[in-house]
Chains A and B, each alone.
Chain A
Amino acid sequence: MDFNFTEEQDMVRDGLSRMVREQYDWETRRKAIESEAGWSPEIWSQLAELGILGMPFSEDVGGFGGGAMDAMVVMEEFGKGLVIEPFVPTVVCAGGFLKHGGSDAQKQEHISAIIGGERVFAFAYAEPKGRYNYADLQTTAKKDGGGYTLNGHKAVVIGAPWASHLIVTARTSGERRDQDGVSVFIVEKATDGVVTRDYETVDGRRASEVYFENVSIPSDALIGEEGAALPLIEQVADEAIAAQCAEACGAMKVAHSMTVEYSRQRKQFGVPIGSFQVLQHRMVDMYTAYETSLSLTYLATLKLDAPERERKRHVSAAKVGVGQAARLIGQEAVQIHGGNGVTDEYAIGHYFKRLTIFESEFGNVDHHMKRHISLA
């Protein structure tokens, strides 16, 4: 057993940590969020230059030969600085679909553009009535001559306003919620009939409702086998969950230390509020929740290549444990900050908001508890 990180991973962590601290300070972040684009393409280019966007790809496609553990290191640091840029949709999700299911031509077409920072993806899987079931699809892709015709409505597609390409799940056969008949496509956002309604999210990102109105896509837009994509989608989603658990761990760590620091500075009744045992014990419980979350995140990340059942069970365990910790730490951090915790000015509220939204992405605690039970 070995809990050590490789030298490369330590270097990446140090480099990213410095970059986030020095170039992703609170004001810079706020400006990017409030800008018209809503993100920082400059930061994205820098991440490409640093090799961060290529870390989890193998060397034969131009990557750096890393894997999920490297993505974990990256996401932890992003979580600490509440980095909003679309690493998960582009590198983890689109990258994951291409790695596990893409044809050689698709890999060639997209991966080096991802690594170079030139191509940004969004993952359009959710639907207005589908909740967290990846097979509960009303979007359809009908065979049409040499290609497909897409129709449907995808909900809350994170990062879609920044993306040039979408990964889209759609039903090619069968009924809503059937396990079979689910397919995945790469769709250029500029294709005729793709209509988006863009908006801000409560945690500082941008997203879109995406409508497909008789969109014609070529047959080589299909990733993997037609109608048999559900296991692939679940695998990529599990990889995204592990990465976001790492992000949440980073955010929880900072939210916790901000809270401890605040309790040292803030005086009431003539003494720092951190001297009150009732608050100390709550901050200890936050600390414990963070440490155990980190443990579950490590394990889930290490199990991403395990047999399907084992992988799912460990990923769900992590999402349950980290999701519960995210709620506890977010709420307690705000409470201990008192009135300042509910202001927009203090950073802590923004950590709370990100942690809140993290809880429901790719399935909330209840959803993953059910999956954990079903795999007992």
Chain B
Amino acid sequence: MNLDFTPEEQAFRDEVRAFIAENHPKHLEGMGNREDMSSEDMTAWHKILGKKGWSAPAWPVEYGGTGWTPTQRYIWSEENARVGTFMPLPFGVSMVGPVIYTFGNDEQKAKHLPGILSGDVWWCQGYSEPGAGSDLASLKTTAVRATDSEGDHYIINGQKTWTTLAQHADWGFFLCRTDPDAAKPQEGISFILIDMKSPGVEVKPIKLLDGGYEVNETWLTDVRVPVENLVGAENQGWTYAKFLLAHERSGIAGVARSKRGVEKLREIAANETIDGDPLIDDFDFARKVSQLEIDLTALEITELRTLANEQAGKGPGPESSILKIKGTEIQQRLTELTLEAVGNYGTPYYGSIAKDTGSNEYPIGPDYAAHSASTYFNMRKTSIYGGSNEIQRNIISKMILGL
């Protein structure tokens, strides 16, 4: 056992660090999750990486992956976190892309993979419904097959919700019920790609706790979709959905970003004072920071062990649920402690201040305090999305403990 980096890995780190320094747009450094980013800002880095061939490192090389080892991918995320780049959104690269290259046909691969890699096509995910959250298999959106003079197609009707950033999306991947009479609810579901500009698709924004509009309701009314947009076999969509979720979970831990977050938290706590002394020297607070850091170290090594397993040919399995649970708990604690650290200046609503001043410069309180509350509110989503942390526990209980 040896966790040191080889000289080749060090050289790789130097190479990607140099690339990021030369190519990442300066005005986007550290923007992270800020809700005041434009859609252009959110895809800028993705498009640069697409040109370089680095937008989907985990993909097989034949489909446009980089062929990097898990260690190189780990170095890559560390180097991005150092600068605070806004990484490619997961919906194309981490979610629908792997489903298409694994289960899709050649036409679908040729049509969709290039746009996912380049960042030119924005994807969204149509899974959840108002009545189907954790019980996703109970979804009711229907796709009924029909034939007319224009060929075979599905007519899709239903309502999806929590469709993240669908307001910018060109395409969406949807779970729809194609066999209402299947013996089990999981058996009658299909995985269908929908052009978001199709007539009958309507996206309504949902305002969230942080004041932003990150998610939407997506209404589908008699949406006509060519049957060529079915991925894999009809009624096998649940299998693909589970595959996708396991892929999503393994990248969801966000270790590198949280490590940078802890560094920032220490900087904030060194700047804030309590009874005249730096907050970071306050034992109660320092203890919480150390606990967070220890838990993060444990998660980091656990993720590396999982990656090593993956490299040995064992794909992302149920252990990735551990990464999702611990990773999101840590991300949330980080935002909690940041909000605690800024004290009184967590209170002002910077969304309204920005509107008043018409600028992103906040005249009230220290810079690092802006967004600390809204980020805390926003990050409550992490233990809910991607299969809530309770669902992850169900998965571990069933798949690992055998209960």
Q: Which residues from chain A sit less than 8 Å from chain B, CB to CB?
A: 1-5, 69, 260, 263-264, 274-275, 277, 280-281, 283-285, 287-288, 291-293, 295-296, 298-299, 302, 314, 317, 320-321, 369, 372-373, 376
* Overall SS of chain B's interface: helix
A3 touches B390 (CB 8 A): no
B71: chain A residues within 8 A (beta carbon): 1
Cβ of B269 to closest chain A Cβ, rounded Å: 10
* B4, closest chain A residue (CB): A1
Best-buried of B3, B300, B403 by chain A (most CB within 10 Å): B403
21 inter-chain pairs at a CB distance below 8 angstroms, sorted by A residue, are A1-B71, A2-B2, A3-B304, A260-B402, A264-B402, A283-B401, A292-B322, A292-B326, A295-B298, A295-B299, A295-B301, A296-B301, A298-B1, A302-B2, A317-B298, A321-B295, A321-B297, A369-B287, A369-B291, A372-B290, A376-B289
B290 touches A284 (CB 8 A): no
Best-buried of B5, B298, B400 by chain A (most CB within 10 Å): B298
Q: Which of B290, B301, B325 meets A299, CB within 8 Å? A: B301
Digitize B83-105: 1 where CB-to-A-CB distance is under 8 Å, 0 elsewhere. 00000000000000000000000
* B397, closest chain A residue (CB): A280
Docked Cα-Cα span, A314 to B298, in Å, equals: 10
Docked Cα-Cα span, A295 to B300, in Å, equals: 8
A291 touches B402 (CB 8 A): no
B326: chain A residues within 8 A (beta carbon): 288, 292
A293: chain B residues within 8 A (beta carbon): 298
A373: chain B residues within 8 A (beta carbon): 283, 286-287, 290
B294 touches A1 (CB 8 A): no
A260 touches B401 (CB 8 A): yes
Cβ of B188 to closest chain A Cβ, rounded Å: 26
Docked Cα-Cα span, A299 to B394, in Å, equals: 29
A-B contact count (CB 8 A): 111
Would you call B204 an interface residue if the criterion is a C-beta within 8 Å of the partner chain's C-beta atoms?
A: no
A292 touches B287 (CB 8 A): no
A284 touches B299 (CB 8 A): no
A288 touches B322 (CB 8 A): yes
Q: Which of A4, A263, A296, A369 meets B403, CB within 8 Å? A: A263
B108: chain A residues within 8 A (beta carbon): none
Cβ of A39 to closest chain B Cβ, rounded Å: 31
Would you call B145 an interface residue if the criterion is a C-beta within 8 Å of the partner chain's C-beta atoms?
A: no
Apart from A3-B1, A3-B305, A369-B291, what 16 extra A-B contacts exist at CB < 8 Å?
A: A1-B308, A3-B308, A5-B1, A263-B403, A280-B397, A281-B390, A284-B397, A291-B322, A295-B300, A295-B302, A296-B297, A296-B298, A299-B3, A321-B297, A373-B286, A376-B286
Q: Which of A4, A281, A321 meets B294, CB within 8 Å? A: A321
B1 touches A317 (CB 8 A): no
Cβ of B259 to closest chain A Cβ, rounded Å: 14
* B301, closest chain A residue (CB): A295
Digitize B371-402: 1 where CB-to-A-CB distance is under 8 Å, 0 elsewhere. 00000000000000000001001101100111
Cβ of A376 to closest chain B Cβ, rounded Å: 7
Digitize B1-32: 1 where CB-to-A-CB distance is under 8 Å, 0 elsewhere. 11111000000000000000000000000000
Digitize B265-308: 1 where CB-to-A-CB distance is under 8 Å, 0 elsewhere. 01000000000000010010011011101110111111011001
A320: chain B residues within 8 A (beta carbon): 290-291, 294
A298: chain B residues within 8 A (beta carbon): 1, 3, 301, 305
Best-buried of A284, A291, A302 by chain B (most CB within 10 Å): A284
A302 touches B297 (CB 8 A): no
Docked Cα-Cα span, A295 to B287, in Å, equals: 21
B325: chain A residues within 8 A (beta carbon): 288
Docked Cα-Cα span, A3 to B301, in Å, equals: 10
B4: chain A residues within 8 A (beta carbon): 1
Docked Cα-Cα span, A19 to B301, in Å, equals: 30
B305 touches A295 (CB 8 A): yes
8 tightest A-B CB contacts, nearest first: A295-B301, A292-B298, A280-B397, A284-B393, A3-B308, A317-B294, A295-B302, A281-B393
* Overall SS of chain A's interface: helix
| B305-330 with Cβ < 8 A to chain A | 305, 308, 319, 322, 325-326
B280: chain A residues within 8 A (beta carbon): 376
B299: chain A residues within 8 A (beta carbon): 292, 295
A299 touches B393 (CB 8 A): no
Docked Cα-Cα span, A339 to B394, in Å, equals: 26
B74: chain A residues within 8 A (beta carbon): 1
Docked Cα-Cα span, A69 to B1, in Å, equals: 8
| B190-219 with Cβ < 8 A to chain A | none
Best-buried of A274, A281, A291 by chain B (most CB within 10 Å): A291
A287 touches B3 (CB 8 A): no
A302: chain B residues within 8 A (beta carbon): 1-3
A3: chain B residues within 8 A (beta carbon): 1, 304-305, 308
B266 touches A283 (CB 8 A): no
Cβ of A290 to closest chain B Cβ, rounded Å: 10
Asked whether A369 and B304 contact (CB < 8 A) given A2-B2, A288-B325, A288-B326, the answer is no
Docked Cα-Cα span, A321 to B299, in Å, equals: 11
Asked whether A292 and B295 contact (CB < 8 A) given A274-B403, A275-B403, the answer is yes
B403: chain A residues within 8 A (beta carbon): 260, 263-264, 274-275, 280, 283
B294 touches A296 (CB 8 A): yes
B283: chain A residues within 8 A (beta carbon): 373
* A375, closest chain B residue (CB): B290
B393 touches A280 (CB 8 A): yes
A287 touches B1 (CB 8 A): no
Cβ of B394 to closest chain A Cβ, rounded Å: 7
* A3, closest chain B residue (CB): B308
A321: chain B residues within 8 A (beta carbon): 294-295, 297-298
A296: chain B residues within 8 A (beta carbon): 294, 297-298, 301
Asked whether A287 and B287 contact (CB < 8 A) given A296-B294, A296-B301, the answer is no
Cβ of B222 to closest chain A Cβ, rounded Å: 40
Cβ of B324 to closest chain A Cβ, rounded Å: 11
A1 touches B3 (CB 8 A): yes
Docked Cα-Cα span, A321 to B291, in Å, equals: 8
* B266, closest chain A residue (CB): A376
Q: Which of B266, B294, B298, B401 meets A372, CB within 8 Å? A: B294
B290 touches A280 (CB 8 A): no
Cβ of A104 to closest chain B Cβ, rounded Å: 30
Cβ of A310 to closest chain B Cβ, rounded Å: 12
A284 touches B396 (CB 8 A): yes
* A277, closest chain B residue (CB): B394
Asked whether A1 and B286 contact (CB < 8 A) given A280-B403, A320-B291, A320-B294, the answer is no
A299 touches B297 (CB 8 A): yes
Asked whether A2 and B1 contact (CB < 8 A) given A281-B393, A293-B298, the answer is yes
